[in-house]
Structure 1
C-alpha cells in the first residue's frame, strides 16, 4: 500500500501560486518530469511523497515557506475536481462542505486518513488528516488545504465572515506573521486537529453559484465515479484501506476493522477467505507496505514510524522491517535517497 496520491490539478495550483509569488515553477516541474501533456490528463496522479518533495523544491527556490497559504488563496472549484464543481453549485455552505469531504477520493487518496465534515455543537467542522510530526515537506500541504477551504467558501458565497476559527495541529511556524494576510479570523496553533470551524449560522448561507439541476447532474456523476473507484478494489484492498487509519499507536483488531467497514467480523473473515486471504495476512502486508513507503519517502524518524504503524518500540519495528525487506531501515532509506538524488541530477542535466 502506498501513502497515497493526488490529482495533478494540485500541481497546477502550485504552479499558479508560484507565479503569484513572482517565481516560475517550470524548472521544478521539468525536474519532476511533469510536462504540459501530463498536467492536462484528467486521470494523472502524483504520489503524496513526490508532491511534497516538489512543494519543498518550490519553497527552496522561492524562499517563500508560506507557499501553501498562497495555494489556498488561489483555490477555485476546478482545482478540486468534480468535488469542487459539485460544491460550487450546491445550494448552501453545509451541503458544499459535505460534497468536498464525501467526494475527496475522486481527486486525492491518503492511506492513513481522509477529510471529514461534521456538526459539532451546531458549528460545522471541516477537518483534514495529515501525518505528524510536521516539517518543511508537509507544513505547506496543511496550509494549502485549510486555506483552500477557507478561500473557496469565501469565493462561493462572497462572504468573509463565515469562519469562526482555523485550527492547526503544528506549532506556529517561522512565517507565522503571514497567516494574518490570508485569514480574517482567529488562527490557533498546537490544536488537536487541522480544521476549519464555521459559525452555526454560516451553514445555511447560499452559494452565489447554486444551480439545482447542475448540482444534481454533478452529484450523479460523482456517485458513479465513486462507485467505479470502489468497484475497482478487491475486498483485500478495501480491508487494507480500512486498516491504515486505525494503525496510530495500536494494532487494530478484526473487530475494529469490521466496525469501520460497517460489517460483521465473520463476514469480513469469510469475504477475505473467498479471495484467498486472512485478516492477519492483510494486516501484516499493509504494515509492511506502509513501512517501506514511510522509510523511503518521508523524513520521519524510525521511532515515529514505529508508533504510526502500531509497534511497541523502534527496535520491534526495525526487526520487522529487516524481516520484510532483508535490510535495516536506516540502510534502506540511505540507499533509496542516493538513488533518488542520482536520478534527479541526471534528469536536470539532460
Structure 2
C-alpha cells in the first residue's frame, strides 16, 4: 500500500492537485486533454484509493530520458505566444526545468509535452518546425558518441543500437541497398496511441535530418522519404523541408540515405571521445534495462505488446517468463494489479493504434484483438473511451480512413 505521506510525490508525478480525504483515499484533480487533441484540456476530479492500481501506476514512471530538447521547443512556441505553463501542463514539471540542461523526464512526461505542442500550436505543420529546430545535443551522451564516430554510417549504427536510451518513438529496421541505406520505421509500442501519427513522424524525420546536418556541419538531404499516410493539406512544404522526393500512401514509412553522405567523415570524429561516450551510453542502457527487467508489470506489458494474440492467459505469461503462474499472480498483486487488467489495457492500446494508424475496419480489428465477435469489441471500446468506434473516429484529428 502507498503511504499517506507519499501523496505529495503522487501530486508531483502526475502534475495534479491532491487532497487527502481519509487514511485510504485522496481526491486528485487531473489535467486531462479532451479527445480532440487541439481542444482545451479540462480538469477532472476523482477520488482514488491509495492502494489502487491507478495510484501504483503513477509511481512506475521514471525520469530516465534527457530533456535537452525542451528549451528549443519552448523557444519555438514562445514565438506563437504560448506560455511555458501551457507547454508543461499536466507534466508536474516546474518552468525552471526548461533552462536545466541536466533535466531527465519520464516517457509519459514527454508524451504529454508533445501532445500539448500539437494541441496548442496554430501551425498545421508544427511537427516539421519542431523537428527542424532540434540538434544533436538533444540526445545527451548518445549525441556525444555519434559526434565522435568515424562517419554518418558509423554514427547511425550507434544511434540504432542505443536508441532506447533517448526514448526513440520508432524502432528501426535497417537494410543495405545498392546505393545507400534504407531505414524502415515501426512505431514503438511505448508511444501513446493518441499522439497524432503525422505530427510524430514529422518531428522524428525532420529531427533526424537536422541531427545529420549537425553532425556533418554542412547541408544534407535524404535520398528519398516514404510515408505510410496520405498527403496532408500542406504537403508541398515537405519538399521545402526535406529537399528530396517524398512519397505518400506507402505501405510503410522509411527514409534512404545515399552512400555519398554515409561515407562522409565527421569533423568532430575522435576515437578516444567515442569510447568514453559509448561507455556512458552502455551504462545508461544497463540502467534502463535493469529498471525494465525488475518490474514484472513492464515485462508482461512488453510480452503482450510484442506477441500478437499468442499471450492471452496468465499461464502463457508464466511460461514465457519461466516462472510459475502463482508467482506471476503474487508479483502482480504486489503492484496492485492483475493479468486481466494488463491484458485489457494492451487490447485498448492496440485498438487505438489500429484506428489511428491503419485502414483496418472494425471486424478486422476485433479479430486481431481476439474478440469473439464485433459486438463484443464495440462494447469493450465504448467502455474504454466512452464512445463507439464510429464516434471515436469522427472526432479524431487526421483520420487515416473513413469512420467505422
2:186 equivalent to 1:129? yes
Conserved 8 A contact 2:136-2:214: no
2:209 equivalent to 1:176? no
Q: d(CA) in 1 for partners of 2:326 and 2:178?
A: 44
SS class of match (2:323): helix
2:201 equivalent to 1:139? no
Question: Please, which of 151, 154, 162 is the counterpart of residue 103 of structure 1?
Answer: 162
Q: d(CA) in 2 for partners of 1:189 and 1:166?
A: 9
Q: Which residue matches 1:340?
A: none
Question: Shift in Å at residue 292 of structure 1?
Answer: 4.8
Question: Shift in Å at residue 185 of structure 1?
Answer: 1.1
Question: Please, which of 188, 199, 208 is the counterpart of residue 258 of structure 2?
Answer: 199
2:294 equivalent to 1:234? yes
Stretches of structure 2 that go unaligned for 5 or more consecutive residues are: 1-56, 333-337, 393-404
Q: How is 1:1-350 mapped onto 2 (pairs within 5 angstroms)?
A: 8-19=67-78, 22-33=80-91, 34-39=93-98, 40=100, 42-47=103-108, 49-59=111-121, 63-108=122-167, 114-121=171-178, 123-130=180-187, 137-161=196-220, 163-232=222-291, 233-234=293-294, 236=296, 237-238=298-299, 240-247=301-308, 251-252=309-310, 269=320, 271-273=322-324, 276-277=327-328, 286-292=342-348, 300=356, 303=362, 306=366, 309=369, 311=371, 314-318=374-378, 321=380, 328-331=383-386
- Relative to the length of structure 2, the TM-score reads 0.62
Conserved 8 A contact 1:7-1:45: no
Deviations 1:159-207 (A, max 9, x none): 4355211121111101112212211111111122222211134322111
Distance change in 2, residues 1:283/1:31 (3 Å): closer
Superposed CA RMSD: 4.2
Q: d(CA) in 1 for partners of 2:375 and 2:69?
A: 38
Question: Shift in Å at residue 266 of structure 1?
Answer: 12
Question: Shift in Å at residue 226 of structure 1?
Answer: 0.6
Q: d(CA) in 1 for partners of 2:354 and 2:103?
A: 27
Distance change in 2, residues 1:305/1:284 (3 Å): farther
Stretches of structure 1 that go unaligned for 5 or more consecutive residues are: 255-264, 338-350
Question: Shift in Å at residue 306 of structure 1?
Answer: 4.5
Larger RCO (alpha carbons 8 Å, 6+ apart): 1
- Relative to the length of structure 1, the TM-score reads 0.71
Q: d(CA) in 2 for partners of 1:30 and 1:162?
A: 33
Conserved 8 A contact 1:13-1:79: no
Q: Aligned residues, how many? A: 307
Q: d(CA) in 2 for partners of 1:168 and 1:126?
A: 12
Q: d(CA) in 2 for partners of 1:126 and 1:310?
A: 31
Conserved 8 A contact 2:67-2:138: no
Q: d(CA) in 1 for partners of 2:299 and 2:373?
A: 28
Q: Which moved more, 1:144-153 or 1:85-94?
A: 85-94
Of Structure 1 and Structure 2, the greater helix share is in: 1
Deviations 1:262-284 (A, max 9, x none): xxx99964623388239xx9986
Q: Which moved more, 1:72-81 or 1:284-293?
A: 284-293
Q: Which residue matches 1:346?
A: none
Question: Shift in Å at residue 129 of structure 1?
Answer: 2.7
State the structure with more CA Rg: 2
Q: d(CA) in 2 for partners of 1:267 and 1:288?
A: 17
Q: Which moved more, 1:269-278 or 1:83-92?
A: 269-278
